[in-house]
Every structure is written in C-alpha cells, then in structure tokens.
C-alpha cells in the first residue's frame, strides 16, 4: 500500500492540538506513508496548494517533544466552512484534484464541530465519486462540546489552567481582608464546561470559588446581586466564575446590557464581550464592596506551560488511533474518547460516525449543578478531575518555555 | 539577647513575597528569636493586635517549601499609611505599646514604597523615644520601581510570567494568518519595567512583540495608528505590549479617552482601566484588521506557578539579610540587591538608608528604548534576562499547584 497522508488543523487554538498532529504524523510514518504532508491554514490553505512536508519540519525526537509543548496550531488554522456539494461542486473537484496530484491516500483533519462537518462532506463526496481516500476526524476543542466523545482533547489542559489560576486569583483576592468581589470571565459561549472547571479549585488549601454561573441556566441579575450580598455577609472576599455566554431569561447575552459591548470592526464584525466587566460594575453600583473583573481571555486556550499530561497523552493517542483506523480502511469517522472508569481513570478510543458528531453541541448536564445553582456537584468533579492529572514539564531555555514554529 | 521578632507584609501581592517571609522567619529562628510573630494584614492588623505565632503555622520543611510557592501575602496585607508623628502621636504610642507587650526586639516589614515609608517613620520615632527595637525594610514589588536596589524581588517572576505568556499569545495570534492586532495591557502605572519585559519573548522560536509602549514616553494616538498600519503591511499578526499607564502628551491617561473608563464604586473609588480595550477599538475603527485586547490583569502578579527561581532565591535572601542586619543592631535600613555582574550573573545584598528609598520611584531609562520607540535595546535585555532564569517546580497535588494558607 503506497501513497501519502495529509493532515490539517482547523478552528480555535488549544494547548494540545499539536500533540494530535504529532500522533497522526508518527503513526502515519510508522505505518509506511511515503510522505506526510501538512496543510498550511487548513482546508483553505490546501485549496491554494499550501502544503509542507512534515518529515522535513519534524526531523528529531526533540522536534516532537517541542511540538507537544507548543500551543496553537503548528500548521496554522482557518475558519472555512465547505459549501454543500450541490451548491458548489467546483470546490470539491478542485480539492480532490489537488489530493490526487499529491497522491493522498489518508486525510486527517484535527478540529471541532466545523472541522467534523468538513470531514463529513469530504467523505460523502469521496464515496460518491469512488475516491479511495480515507477521511478521518480528530477531535479538538477546549470547549468540550463535541457529541459522542467522553471529552475532547484540549479540555483537560484548559480545565487545569482554570483550576490553577483560580487558586492563585483566590489567594490574591483575599489579601486585604476587606469586602471584595472578583468576577472571572471564562470562555464557552453555549456550553459551560470550562466555567464549571473553576469548581476544581476548592481543596484543603483553597476555599474555592463562591459562585459559578453557567450558560446552561438563565441568568437573573437581581438574583445574582442578592446571592452576592448574602455571601458577602459571611465572607469578605467573593470570587465568581462566570461564562462569557450567560444569557438573560429573554435570551439576550448579559454582556449586551453594557453600553460598550458592540465593538464593530472595519469588516463589520460584532464582538460580544465584557460580561465580567458589566457584572463587576453592576455589583459596585449596588453593594458596599470593591469589585474587579478578570478575563481569562486567550490564555485559557494557549497556556501550554500548564498543560495536563493526561490531556497531551490522549491528544497524541487520538491522532495515532485516527491513523490506525484510516490505514485499516475506515473513512468518514471521528476518533472518540471512551471512558471505562473514573477511579482508577481508564479511557480508550473508539470510532464514531462523523455525521453523528458534526454540527451538534454537548452541554453540561444541569443535574450536575447544585440546587442553589451556585456550584457543581461531585458528579462533575469526578468527571473532570482525572482530565487535569499530571504535567508535561515545559522545556525552558534562557528562562522561557521553548516552542517549535513552522517555516 | 532575648526577645521576639515580628514581621508583616504590605501592599500589593507578588508571587514571591512569601519567600521573603520564609527568609525572615528562618533567619530569626536560627539567630535565637524566642517567637517570630506575624502581623495579620500588616501594620493595620497590628494596631488591632492581630498577630500569629509563625512557628505554629510553619512547622515543617514542607510548610516552608509550600510557602515559597504560594502567591499573594500569607499574612494578609494592608494599604495603610502611617500618619506623621506630629500629626497623630497616639498611633505611635499605641503601636510601641503593643510591640512592648509582645517583647519585640526586631521588626520587619516586607513591601514597596509605602511600606518603606512605614519603616522610616517607625525607626525615626523609635530613635526619638529611645526604643531598642530594630526596624528593617524588606523590598517587594512587581513594579521594580524602588530606588537604590538593582531590582526588586517580585519583578523577576512577573517578568518571567510576561515573557512566557507573550510567547503563547504570539503563537495564538498568528494562527489564522489573517490581519490581526492583539493589544496586551500590562501593569505599571508610572514605571514601564513590566511592559518592557515583553521584549524578552523574542528568540529563535518566537518573532517577538512588534511594539512596546512604556509610560515613560508620551503616547500619540495618531503616531500609534500610523505605526500599526506600517507594521501590518509587513506582517499580518501584530502583537503590542502597552502599559496600563501610558499617557497622552497633555498628561491624561489614554484610558481616560474611553467612554466607560470611570467605574465608580459604592465608596466613590474611581478605577482607571481599559487602555488595551480603548486602543483595540481605535485600531478596529481605523484600519482594515480584526483586533483583540488582552489584559494580563492580576495573574502577572500572582501567577506563582511561573515563578523565577532566581527571584525566589533572592526574595528569600533579602529576608535573611534583613534578619542578620537587625540582629547585628542595624535599624532604619532596607536590604537592597546589588548586582556585581550580568554574565555570569552575580548579585549580593547591601543595606541602604530607608529614608533614601521611601516615596521615590525608579523608572525605565529612556536610553534603553530604541530610536523608533518601538522596542527595548540590548541593555534592557542584559539587565532583565538574568532575573527570569530557572524555575522552582510547583508542587502539584491532584492536578493542581499546592499552596499553604494562614489560619
């Protein structure tokens, strides 16, 4: 069986998407792919024939180790949604032409929902035209919102980042012993998996966050203020984890209440943001306390210096499992993580039909939230805690963590 | 020589202020202090007789190791400025009465400018009334703005944090290959030491930040826009490090230009903030690019998981040196760091007169900024690079960094 493999990365960065790239690359090499190509900036770059030969870029064990520790997408990314074949067949003809020129037998795409949609369409079109190319999806997203997989590579490291920094923020916030409300805004527009991870901070050495607000539940500003007021009677420093995506009962995002939420750029893009800032101002105006908004911002997805080794290992594994499946003839599938047990934590991979994954979202079960709607229940902690275990020590050179960069 | 020591922490948190506490505590114990007391919430807590016996809280080597890894102030902090003795002698009479009750011989205060003012006033008052108590200042501030010391404990870890996360942010920002301007807001209202640390990110594996804006130079919004436009013709992703304290030529803070900068809380406190957000909106309105503001916020001062070992070691050393000096009879002094050489880096401690330190600010020499006013010169890198070297591995338990908490 002769031929080449190609792999692309798509969607938003994570700390471990490059570990999946390493997994695909090494498994394809071992299984005898002549070349393993990388698409530069995903399917969009491929359409412009922007590819590299990965074996030229990744030529040593150190390169692979650095790749596992480098956040964001080594190959670059895109947010390109393939049109349906019936809308624009020319795109497919062009893509399959390029793949034929490159003698591609195995095609891998690492990403979230949109990327799985791409794999779904390509595999269906390929089947229709009788293409021999095997198309495999490799899951990736900090948001943990993919269906049919126990969790997604990327989530564990983001959750570990959130747990570690929430503990540090809580220490910082208590220092003066005076009334203080710190509101920390966490990513996840529709699914609250990342915000829920703030619950991991509580332990013998940490009082934990006082209130967790997920987008899975409607947000009532009056009840929120009442809760904060009540809590602050018992404790001066209150730390709140709030999803950027919390919505009012009428469906508007909370951040839409602020005066300046609509930042329109030169392209006319509207960015919704400022939930923590809005709530921080709201509390400051209504209660006798100082407040501070903190946005974890992009560091929660690119803070590779705090990766979970469990996450890195699984990200590598799903890459390898995708290669194994493709070489064994599977196509139109995504590699999913399947949890066997929580304690001891055991997790393996399985294949799921890509069309059952694409374009669907998995949310936090509301049965994992306590009755007072302030905190996560032990069920969530039992689910999330294994995913943040162990570390992959960063490689420090001259005082800073070392990465590998393309080109 | 019998008697007790007392130590307090004051001002804003750092990642290593507790290493100085460990240094004072261990040196006082070794030198024969009967008790080493901690003031809870600094001099303000002491006035309410809120003290603890540190040997009860720190009873093992593991406690000390955890203390070195715990950010913020283990003993709590305050922002209390002692009145001048001629304004309110009663405060001094009360304080010295409490110190006498506790049989204090040695008094240590770990902090920045305001804390050194406290030591200055207490030592002068003590001398006037013939008190035998020795008063010593231990420097601490992420801002690196204390006079007469080569640098301040706390700065190296904050600079390391900034260097590491700027590298991660740069990787994240380049992922789509499209026009993108990321503006990162860094602490330091009057001195640009922390913002300058963004220059450390550049290296073989990182293109570095494209523009650094320090508060030491006036900020011209028109020139800023022109620079960004020019730079973006050569590179799609531009990453800018800007001090929260940049000021217009007329003296107003840049953030005062934004509509919502004045957040007034229930106490009437006004918070200036939003420099990155304002500039990000400004760029988006004027140039054909997407933009994103990122505030490093409090994590740059409490991100103890990224501490510099050089910084932790020096923080511990200045604590120990303060104890040594006090036990040898010195008073009214601060321990300063004195650099012998850059390469190999050698640094020792010396004593400086507290009245030469208190209430003064050290700024970044403008001769360390390039002519184009976009970047730091090698002189700054030679100064800052040694301070971020080496790591103190965090102690991870159950996936998260472990701390020690008071009480």
Using an 8 Å Cβ cutoff, are B189 and B245 in contact?
Answer: yes
CA angle A265, A269, A273 (to 5 degrees): 90
Residue A314 has pLDDT above 90, yes or no: yes
Residues A261, A149 share a domain: no
Whether B306 sits inside 8 A of A301 (CB atoms) is no
CATH code, domain carrying B189? 3.40.50.460
**Half-sphere exposure for A294 (CA within 13 Å, toward CB):** 24
- pLDDT averaged over every residue in chain A: 95
Picking from A255, A282, A302, the residue at the C-terminal end of a domain is: A302
CB contacts < 8 A, A to B, total 211
In this predicted model, which residue has the larger pLDDT, A80 or B157? B157
Residue of B nearest to A80 (CA): B176
The ipTM (two decimal places) reads: 0.97
Q: How many domains does chain A have?
A: 2
User: Out of A167, A169, A400, whose CB is closest to B403?
Assistant: A167
Partner-chain contact A76 B168, CB within 8 Å = no
Q: Considering the candidates A117, A143, A145, A210, report the single residue annotated as catalytic.
A: A143
Residue A143 is among the residues annotated as catalytic for this protein: yes
Determine the Cα–Cα distance for residues B304 and B393; give it in Å rounded to an integer: 10
CA A118, A121, A123, A129 torsion-angle sign: negative
A352's CB contacts (< 8 A; 6+ apart) are A148, A149, A333, A334, A336
Q: Where is the domain boundary, B267, B302, B337?
A: B302
- Per-residue tokens: A386: 């294994």
> Is residue B384 one of the residues assigned to a domain?
no
Specify whether the CB–CB gap between A75 and A8 falls below 8 A: yes
Nearest-CA residue of chain A relative to B308? Answer: A399
Helix, strand, or coil (residue B338):
strand
List, for residues A229-266, the tens digit of each pLDDT value.
999 999 999 999 999 999 999 999 999 888 665 555 44
CA distance A102 to A49: 10
Does residue A175 carry a pLDDT above 90? yes
Range B355-391 burial, b when 16+ CB lie within 10 A, else e: bebbeeebebeeebbeeebebbeeebbebbbbbbbbb
Peptide bond into A104 cis (omega under 30): no
pLDDT at residue B358, as a whole number: 81
* Interchain contact, B401 vs A263, CB within 8 Å: no
Q: Is residue B97 part of a domain?
A: yes
Between positions 335 and 374 of A, the ones with CB within 8 A of B are none
A73 touches chain B (CB under 8 A): yes
The reply to whether A201 falls in a domain is yes
User: Quick one: how far is CA A193 from the chain centroid?
Assistant: 10
Residue A206 shares a structural domain with residue A292: yes
pTM over 0.95: yes
Chain A, nearest residue to B283 by Cα: A265
Give the pLDDT of residue B260.
61
Nearest CB to A284: which of B13, B265, B391?
B265
**Quick one: A56 exposed, middle or buried, by C-beta within 10 A (0-12, 13-18, 19+)?**
exposed
Mark out the alpha helices in B31-154 (DSSP H runs).
Answer: 42-47, 54-57, 61-68, 89-101, 113-129
Domain check: are A315 and A214 in the same one?
no
Which chain A residues are Cβ-neighbours of B287 within 8 angstroms?
266
Q: Are residues B12 and B132 in the same domain?
A: yes
- Chain B residue with the nearest C-alpha to that of A404: B205
A287 and A331 both lie in a single domain = no
What pLDDT score was predicted for residue A132? 97
Instruction: Count CA within 13 A, CB hemisphere, residue A300.
Output: 29
Are B86 and B215 in a shared domain? no
Q: Which residue has the tokens 């304002």?
A: B278
Determine, yes or no, domain membership for A147.
Answer: yes
Q: Is residue B406 part of a domain?
A: no
The whole-number pLDDT of residue A243 equals 97
Q: Distance (Å, rounded) from C-alpha B317 to C-alpha B400?
A: 28
Q: Of A302, A325, A344, at which residue does a domain stop?
A: A302
B205 - beta bridge partners?
none
A209 and A245 fall within a common domain: yes
Does B380 fall in a domain? no
Distance of CA A268 to the CA centre of its chain: 26
Distance between start and end Cα atoms, chain B? 30
DSSP string covering A271-304: EP--HHHHHHHHHHHHSSSEEEEEE-TTHHHH-G
Predicted local confidence at residue B189, as pLDDT:
87
Are residues A64 and A172 both part of a single domain?
no
Rg (CA), chain B: 22
Take residue B180 and report the two structure tokens written for it.
């993108």
Q: Is residue A181 a part of any domain in this protein?
A: yes
* Domain match, A10 and A139 both: yes
End-to-end, the C-alpha distance of chain A in Å comes to: 30
Of B301, B306, B400, the CB nearest to A305: B306
A158 interfaces chain B, CB cutoff of 8 Å: no
- Nearest Cα to A374, choosing from A191, A251, A217? A217
Tell whether the torsion through CA atoms of A375, A378, A383 and A388 is positive or negative: positive
CATH number at B395 reads: 3.40.50.450
Nearest partner of B185 among B53, B298, B276, B91, judged by Cα: B276
Kindly state whether residues A163 and A294 are assigned to the same domain: yes
Region for B35 from its dihedrals, namely left if φ exceeds 0, alpha if ψ lies in -120 to 50, beta otherwise? beta
Task: Give the pLDDT mean for A95-106.
Answer: 98
Instruction: Report pLDDT for A272.
Output: 65
What residues make up the domain containing A110?
4-154+304-360+390-401
pLDDT of residue A375: 98
Continuous segment of H or E residues that includes residue B360: none
* Model pLDDT for residues B349-398, shown as the tens digit of each residue: 999 999 998 878 999 999 999 999 999 999 999 999 999 999 999 999 99
- pLDDT beyond 70 at A221: yes
What dihedral angle (degrees, nearest 10) is formed by the CA atoms of A319, A325, A331, A332?
-50
Retrieve residue A263's tokens.
């930042």
User: Beta-carbon neighbour count of residue A250 at 10 Å?
Assistant: 6
Same domain, A218 and A116: no
Q: What are phi and psi of A172, to 5 degrees?
A: -65, -40
- B189 shares a domain with B232: yes
Whether residue A373 is contained in a domain is answered as no
**What is the residue-level pLDDT of chain B in tens, covering all 407 positions?**
589 999 999 999 999 999 999 999 999 999 999 999 999 999 999 999 999 999 999 999 999 999 999 999 999 999 888 999 999 999 999 999 999 999 999 999 999 988 999 999 999 999 999 999 999 999 999 999 999 999 999 999 999 999 999 999 999 999 999 999 999 999 998 999 999 999 999 999 999 999 999 999 999 999 999 999 999 999 999 999 999 999 999 999 999 888 665 555 555 555 667 899 999 999 999 999 999 999 999 999 999 999 999 999 999 999 999 999 999 999 999 999 999 999 999 999 999 999 998 878 999 999 999 999 999 999 999 999 999 999 999 999 999 999 999 87
Selecting from A175, A205, A297 the residue whose C-beta is nearest the C-beta of B404 gives A205
Q: Nearest CA to CA, how far is B355 from chain A (Å)?
A: 26
Minimal C-alpha gap between A33 and chain B (Å): 27
Cα-based angle B350, B351, B355 (whole degrees, multiple of 5): 145
Q: Cβ of A292 under 8 Å from any chain B Cβ?
A: yes
- Report, as residue numbers or ranges, the catalytic residues of B: 143
């Amino acid at each position: 069986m002769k031929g080449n493999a190609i792999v692309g990365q798509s969607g938003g960065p994570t700390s471990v998407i490059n570990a999946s790239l390493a997994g695909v690359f090494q498994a394809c090499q071992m299984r005898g792919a002549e070349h393993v190509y990388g698409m530069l900036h995903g399917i969009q770059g491929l359409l412009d024939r922007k590819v590299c030969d990965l074996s030229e870029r990744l030529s040593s064990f150190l390169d692979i180790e650095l790749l596992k520790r480098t956040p964001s997408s080594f190959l670059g990314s895109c947010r390109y949604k393939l049109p349906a074949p019936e809308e624009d067949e020319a795109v497919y003809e062009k893509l399959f032409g390029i793949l034929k020129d490159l003698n591609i037998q195995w095609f891998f795409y690492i990403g979230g929902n949109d990327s799985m949609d791409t794999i779904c369409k390509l595999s269906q079109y390929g089947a229709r035209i009788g293409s021999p190319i095997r198309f495999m999806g490799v899951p990736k997203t900090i948001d943990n919102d993919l269906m049919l997989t126990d969790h997604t590579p990327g989530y564990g490291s983001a959750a570990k980042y959130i747990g570690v920094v929430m503990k540090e923020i809580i220490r910082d916030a208590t220092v003066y012993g005076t009334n203080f409300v710190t509101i920390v805004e966490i990513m996840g527009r529709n699914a609250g998996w990342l915000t829920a991870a703030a619950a991991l901070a509580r332990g013998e050495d940490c009082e934990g966050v006082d209130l967790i607000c997920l987008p899975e539940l409607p947000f009532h500003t009056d009840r929120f203020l009442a809760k904060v007021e009540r809590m602050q009677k018992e404790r001066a420093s209150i730390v709140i984890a709030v999803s950027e995506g919390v919505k009012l009962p009428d469906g508007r995002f909370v951040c839409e209440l602020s005066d300046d939420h609509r930042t329109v750029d030169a392209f006319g893009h509207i960015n919704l943001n400022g939930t923590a800032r809005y709530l921080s101002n709201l509390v400051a105006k209504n209660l006798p306390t100082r407040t501070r908004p903190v946005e974890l911002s992009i560091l929660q997805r690119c803070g590779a210096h705090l990766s979970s080794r469990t996450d890195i290992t699984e990200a590598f594994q799903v890459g390898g499992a995708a290669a194994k499946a493709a070489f064994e003839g599977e196509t139109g599938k995504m590699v999913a993580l399947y949890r066997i047990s929580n304690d001891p934590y055991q997790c393996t991979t399985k294949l799921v039909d890509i069309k059952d994954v694409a374009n669907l979202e998995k949310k936090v079960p509301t049965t994992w939230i306590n009755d007072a709607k302030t905190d996560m229940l032990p069920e969530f902690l039992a689910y999330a805690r294994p995913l943040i275990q162990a570390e992959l020590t960063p490689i420090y050179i001259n005082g800073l963590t070392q990465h590998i960069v393309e080109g």
